[in-house]
Structure formats: structure tokens, C-alpha cells
């Protein structure tokens, strides 16, 4: 069982980005063809799998222990950190990692950025090197023209949404790709 900790965007945010992906696939199909021409098995990730990964935990991690630790840390932060609560975020801009086209996740302000970094740290990531993003496409091999590919979504700005909870998620490989199942959900709306 492969585990990761994630934030799920709102349905409105997913719908908005899905509409932009449809536009890129149809209205900008020539640009998409040029951007992906040298890539093998380029494919968009289905919208129901879009999430902001905070930390990968691997196959050997204990979901009960991880879930309890996450709930404890969120509870502590809610009592000790003024302003801790659901961060306000939006998807905006784009970039490329090896084999991945991603849409950036932007906090609304400094307090939201602080909460996002804190939650990433609680999940197990290094908040200083954490880059908030959502993977929207993958490919198996080939060299991407990073500017051309990221340029397809460079001006994208989605609606604001609140990350109301953090989820510990199990990823299980199936014939159509990974299937995600939430193992534990912890509310970020902590009351003291």
C-alpha cells in the first residue's frame, strides 16, 4: 500500500481547471501537438486524481501511526499557532519536472503560505524545499520543450478555495492507473 499526504482542491477549482484543459486540448490543439511532439505516451491525468501532494510515505509506512501523528500535529498547531486554519489557495501558472506537467498552487497571502508550509512539514516534507503543485499531465520518455509545454497554462489562474482538511491517501495500482482511497482525514479548522 503506497501512502501519501495530500490536500484536495474544491470541486469548483477542479471544474475550472478541467475546462482549461479541455480548451488546451481543443482550441489550442496545434500548440499542444508542438509542445508534446517529442514525448512518448503523453497523457493528461484525470481530474478526479488532481491533488496537492504534501509528502510521499512509500509502501512500508503504517497508516494508523501516520494518521495519529498528523492529527496530533494539526491539533498542536491549532492550539499554539495564531491564525492556523484552512489556507486559502488557487491554482495558477505552470511548470515542468521530468515527465510531469504541473499547475502551481498559490497561497492567497503570507499567512496562507505559512500554514501551507506548516502543514507540509507536519506531513513530513521539508517546508523550505516544498513546491506546491498539482500534476496535470505525464509522459513516459522524451525531451520536453519546457517553455512551450508550461506556456500552455502559463497564464492560468483558477478560483480561490480553502483546504479545509489534510488527507492521508492510499494509492493502489489498477489497470486504468492508480486508484486513490482516503485512509484518514484531519480537519484544518482546529478549534481551541
**pTM beyond 0.85, yes or no:** yes
Output the average pLDDT for the chain: 91
**pLDDT (tens digit, 9 = 90+) per residue, 65-124?**
999 999 999 988 877 777 789 999 999 999 999 999 999 999 999 999 999 999 999 999
What pLDDT is stored for residue 60 in this prediction? 85
133 is catalytic: yes
What pLDDT is stored for residue 14 in this prediction? 97
Give the count of alpha carbons within 13 A of 121, CB side only: 11
What domains lie within the chain, and their CATH numbers? 2-187 (3.90.1140.10)
How far apart CA 143 and CA 21 sit, in angstroms, is 21
8 backbone φψ class: left, alpha, beta (φ>0; ψ -120 to 50): beta
51 is catalytic: yes
Amino acid at each position: 500500500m503506497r501512502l501519501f499526504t495530500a490536500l484536495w482542491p474544491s470541486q469548483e477549482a477542479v471544474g475550472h481547471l478541467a475546462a482549461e484543459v479541455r480548451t488546451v486540448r481543443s482550441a489550442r490543439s496545434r500548440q499542444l501537438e508542438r509542445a508534446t511532439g517529442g514525448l512518448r505516451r503523453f497523457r493528461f491525468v484525470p481530474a478526479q486524481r488532481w491533488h496537492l501532494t504534501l509528502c510521499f510515505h512509500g509502501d512500508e509506512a503504517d497508516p494508523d501511526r501516520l494518521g495519529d501523528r498528523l492529527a496530533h500535529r494539526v491539533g498542536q498547531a491549532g492550539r499554539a499557532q495564531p491564525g492556523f486554519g484552512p489556507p486559502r489557495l488557487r491554482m495558477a501558472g505552470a511548470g515542468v519536472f521530468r515527465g510531469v506537467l504541473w499547475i502551481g498552487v498559490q497561497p492567497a497571502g503570507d499567512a496562507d503560505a505559512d500554514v501551507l508550509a506548516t502543514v507540509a512539514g507536519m506531513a513530513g516534507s521539508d517546508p523550505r524545499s516544498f513546491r506546491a503543485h498539482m500534476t496535470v499531465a505525464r509522459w513516459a520518455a522524451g525531451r520536453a520543450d519546457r517553455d512551450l509545454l508550461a506556456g500552455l497554462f502559463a497564464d492560468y489562474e483558477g478560483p480561490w478555495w480553502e483546504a479545509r482538511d489534510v488527507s492521508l491517501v492510499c494509492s493502489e495500482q489498477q489497470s486504468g492507473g492508480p486508484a486513490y482511497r482516503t485512509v484518514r482525514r484531519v480537519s484544518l479548522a482546529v478549534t481551541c
